[in-house]
Amino acid sequence: MIHTEHLVKDFGTFRAVDDINLDIAKGEIFGFLGANGAGKTTAIRMIIGLVLPTSGQIIVDGLDISKGSEKVKHKIGYMSQKFSLYPDLKAIENLEFYAGIYQIPFRQAMKNIQPIIEQFGLQDILKSRTEDLPMGYKQRLSLVASLVHDPPLVFLDEPTSGVDPQARREFWQVINDLAYAGKSVIVSTHFMDEAEYCHRVIIMQDGREVALGNPAELKAEHSSATMQELFLKVLGEDHAKPE
């Protein structure tokens, strides 16, 4: 579904992403791991066409993303790291807006997201103003909003930062269900334990790939018991700053 080749992004003299090569399959949960500033967000933003790469190629579902065609954009669902629903709109009005810009009839959109709304227990807050919701609900709502158009590719940039452990489990349950339904889910996180839920992960440091593969295989390869240990090993103890 996603193929990147020698992906590079420079901001002035600073190289944020350095030679990233990926292949992400349909139905795969793919994790971007790394400390803050490792280049996860920039890599994701390039793949969804928000940031133009300095060099390299990105093919999403057979289409070159740099062309910025409308067709590709319909296939992408994106939840940004910063909460970005409209605070002055009701929850349901936010969903209605996103359905509108993706040209999905609202009835159809609600049908698409009904199971997740129920799973998250959001039925009762749909009429509330978004700004009045607690953080955990805002995050859940953001994820739901990114799914109104039933995209085959879902990008979640740090979806679980700032939510309690109970909510994090719920999130991963939903992510699993999405993958099971055949969507590719690309998640970035700095919680090492969450990496265990991914089919494959890339660990990034200073924009570069330091490890790529299945979490269990990577642990075996570096004879680590936990992801935390693996992380420290591949980064070198000085650089590891997991939060």
Partner 1 sequence: MPNLNRIKAIAEKEVFHILRDSRTLTIIFIMPLLQLIIFGYAMNMEIRQVPLVVDDSALNSSSRALVDAFIHTDYFRLVPKSEGILNPGELFKERRAQATLSIPKGFGKESLTVLLGIDASDPNSAQMIQNYATGIVNTRFAQAGAGINLQPLILYNPDMKSSFFFVPGLIALILVMICALLTSISISREKEMGTMEQILVSPVSATEILLGKVIPYIFLGLMDALLILAVGMLLFQVPFRGEFIVFLGFTFLYVLTSLCLGLLVSTMAKTQQGAMMMALGMTLLPTLLLSGYMFPITSMPVILQKITYIIPARYYLQIIRGIMLKGNNVRHLYQSGLSLLIMSVTMLVIASRRFKLRLS
Would you tell me which residues interact with partner 1 (CB under 8 A)?
Answer: 45, 48-52, 68, 70, 73-74, 76, 78, 80, 82-86, 88-89, 93, 96-103, 145
Residue 9 Cβ vs partner 1, minimum distance, rounded to whole Å: 11
**Residue 22 CA: distances (Å) to CA of 59, 67, 121:** 10, 19, 35
Environment class of 55 (CB within 10 Å of its CB; exposed 0-12, middle 13-18, buried 19+)? exposed
Q: Is the Cβ of residue 16 or residue 210 nearer to partner 1 in the bound state?
A: 16
H or E stretch covering 10: strand 2-11
Q: Which two tokens stand for residue 145?
A: 């909003």
Q: Is the Cβ of residue 92 or residue 212 nearer to partner 1 in the bound state?
A: 92
CA distance 8 to 209: 12
Residue 85 Cβ vs partner 1, minimum distance, rounded to whole Å: 7
Residue 69 Cβ vs partner 1, minimum distance, rounded to whole Å: 9
Q: Is the Cβ of residue 184 or residue 205 nearer to partner 1 in the bound state?
A: 184
- Contact 60/139 with Cβ under 8 angstroms? no
Q: Is the Cβ of residue 154 or residue 179 nearer to partner 1 in the bound state?
A: 154
Residue 137 Cβ vs partner 1, minimum distance, rounded to whole Å: 18
CA distance 52 to 50: 7
